[in-house]
Structure formats: C-alpha cells, structure tokens
Amino acid sequence: MKIRRPVSDARFLAALCGALLVAPAAHAQPSDAEKIAVAQALYDEAVAAMDAKDYATACPKLVEAVRLVPEGIGAKLTLAECYEESGKLASAWSHYAVASSLAQRAGQKDRAARAAAKAEALKGRLARLTIDVPDAVRKIPQVRVTRGGVALGEAQWGTALPVDVGRHEIVVTAPGYETWTRAIEVAKDGEAISARVEAPAIDLRASAAEERRRAASTVVIQNFAAERPWQRPLGTAAMGVGAAGLVLGGVLGGLAIQKNDESNAGLCDADDSCKRAGLALRSEAVRLGNGSTAALAVGGVVLLGGVVLFATAPASKSKGSAEKGPRAGVDATLELLPTGVRVRGAF
C-alpha cells in the first residue's frame, strides 16, 4: 500500500512550517523563508517526476529539499517512497525509520505509525553486505575502509549492513600503502553477501622516495672517537700553557701592587691627589692589573681544557694488543628529520 503523496502546496508548506515551529523562536534565521520556498519548488518538481515514474530525477530533488529543510517530515516520507519505488529498499527503509522517529517526537502519531509499518515491512526484504576486515588490515596505522565513498567505522566491520541492490565499491587506504579496491555486485533483494578485505600492498614508490629523502639528509660518522694519540700530549701541553698563564698573571699582579705602593710613598695622598710621577705609577699599576686579570682568566681556561683532554684521552695500546682487540671508537649517524635532528651511535 502506497503512502499518499501530499501533492498540494499548502499541505507541504504547512508540514514544513509546523516542523520549524517546534524549534525555539530564537533559532529562526532570516533565510528560513527562502529555504522553504526553494524546498517547495524542488518538492513540486519531484512529485511531478514521480508521477511520470522518473525516479532518477525525483529522488535527488527530494534529497536536496530534505537538506534545505531537515525538519520536514513529509518530504522525508516522500523521499522514502521514491527510493522504494526505484528499487532502493535499504535507502527507503532507513528514511522510513528516521521519519517515524521524527514524527513520534513531533506528536504526529498516525504518521509515525504508518512510517514504522513501512519500515518493518521492508526490513525482511533487505539485501545485506558484510565487510570482513582481517586483523592484518586492522593493525595498519590510519587504515580507512569506505563503501561507496562513505567511511565505515570500525564498529561496522564484520556486521551485516543493509544495502541497496546494485554495485558497491569497497576501498581500503592507508598512508604508505597502495589503494585496495574491490567492486561487489548485489544482484537481488534479500541477498546476503560477504566480502573479505585484503591487506593493501606497501607503496614501493612512496617507500623509495622516503629512502631517497632520508639518504640525502643522513651523515654517517664512523670511528669519530677512535684512538687519538694526539689528545694526551695536547692535553699535557695545554695544562703547561695554562699553568704558565696563571704564573704570568700572578707576576703581573705582584708588579701592579708594587707600582701602586710606590705611588703611595709620598707621591699620592690619602685623597688620591697625585704628583706627575705618582700618576704615571698609578697608570702603570692599572695596566699591569688588567694584564694580570686577563692572564689569570685565560690561563685558568686553558689549564682546565688541558685537564679535560688529558683525562678523556683513550688509553694507549701496544702494537700487539691493538692487533688482538678492536680499537676504541664511535660509530655515529646524524639524521636531519623534518621534526628535528636525531643522532644514533655505538660507543
């Protein structure tokens, strides 16, 4: 038994406006009237196409009318009827079920009951497609399974889902993998089909490009810390130079103090008022003091560096022992990554 299509403009417009009035007035938008007018025009054309049994034209117009005014229950019921008459039972069933739920909430009990009855009558006639996704595919990072361009959540994998009769394309994609595609043909209503997804092959072109990118940004340093016979002598020399700098700093400091004392011996008073000779002695004392400070600082740094070089130098080996055992050293790899720098090595 067909649901009678509401062919009059007044009945359809009343249904749409009634649904809109269910929402709070604060949510009304100035464009609602325009949307209703466009939806009404599409609905009228769709009904005329359905009367001519041109469902390929009618159903898309009803889809757009529902999109413009999603609260319109009558348009949803007409769309469900369009799908049913065009042989798309799964789509019809889902729209009858949605329309029944909306009508129930809107207090339209008769309409809700009729839509629920239609959905129940179609339920046993639906074709069902089960997409089996094995563990090998589930474990692939960021794997995505779609049917007809619509993504299927993991909860839908392995579940018998209602589908329309016709061709259904299953696509599996994941970063770094080739796209896996399979077309399933559902021949008749009530048919139960199972399709097993296969693990997509690794995209060799993408892998090769990644290897080339990494090779271009990788520097390998081998035996960076192999035997360094120069390090211990260099450390010893640095310690000697540093010690000499400290001694020089001490000598210069002593001379600076001596010159300052000489200026205080009758050439400068307590208020630092100096004669010409006293000023000369004070100036020389300042220069010697600055030199002392610099010599002490440089000498201390060089001495400390020498100690570090000497302490970290590899132990010397005899010729025989060097031939028997491996040399001490470091094999290191420096990789320049998009997110930073990574260093790997063995000591």
Number of CB atoms found within 10 A of residue 207's CB: 12
Q: Which two tokens stand for residue 158?
A: 């392995």
CA distance linking residue 71 with residue 18, whole number of Å: 9
Q: Worst-scoring range by mean pLDDT, 86-95, 125-134, 206-215, 269-278?
A: 206-215
Distance CA 312, CA 143 (A): 51
223 Cβ contact partners less than 8 Å away, ≥ 6 residues apart:
327, 329, 330, 331
Give pTM, 2 decimals: 0.51
Q: Which of 123, 146, 178 is the last residue of a domain?
A: 123
How many residues would you count in the chain? 347
**Could you give the residue ranges of the DSSP H alpha helices within 156-222?**
204-216
Residue 157 lies in a domain: yes
Q: Is residue 226 part of a domain?
A: no
List the structure tokens of 48: 């005329």
Q: How many CA atoms lie within 13 A of 52 on its CB side?
A: 10
Q: Are residues 147 and 119 in the same domain?
A: no
One domain for residues 52 and 68: yes
CB atoms within 10 A of CB 346: 8
3-state SS, residue 162: strand
Structural domain boundaries, residue 75: 9-123
Q: Are residues 100 and 163 in the same domain?
A: no
Does some domain include residue 278?
Answer: yes
Mean pLDDT within 312-316: 72
Residue 207 in any domain: the answer is no
How far is Cα 131 from Cα 217, in angstroms, rounded to an integer?
42
Q: What is the domain-level CATH number for residue 148? A: 2.60.40
Which amino acid is it at 173? T
pLDDT tens track for 104-127 = 999 999 999 999 999 999 999 999
User: What does residue 328 show for φ and ψ, rounded to 5 degrees?
Assistant: -70, 145
Query: For residue 2, is it within any domain?
Result: no
Radius of gyration of the chain (CA): 44
Q: Do 165 and 256 reside in the same domain of the chain?
A: no
What total number of domains does the chain contain? Answer: 3
148, 49: one domain: no
Q: How confident is the model at residue 208 (pLDDT cuts 50, 70, 90)?
A: low
Residue 216 domain flag: no
- pLDDT tens by residue, 141-189: 999 999 999 999 999 999 999 999 999 999 999 998 899 999 999 999 9
What percentage of residues in the chain have a pLDDT greater than 90?
A: 43
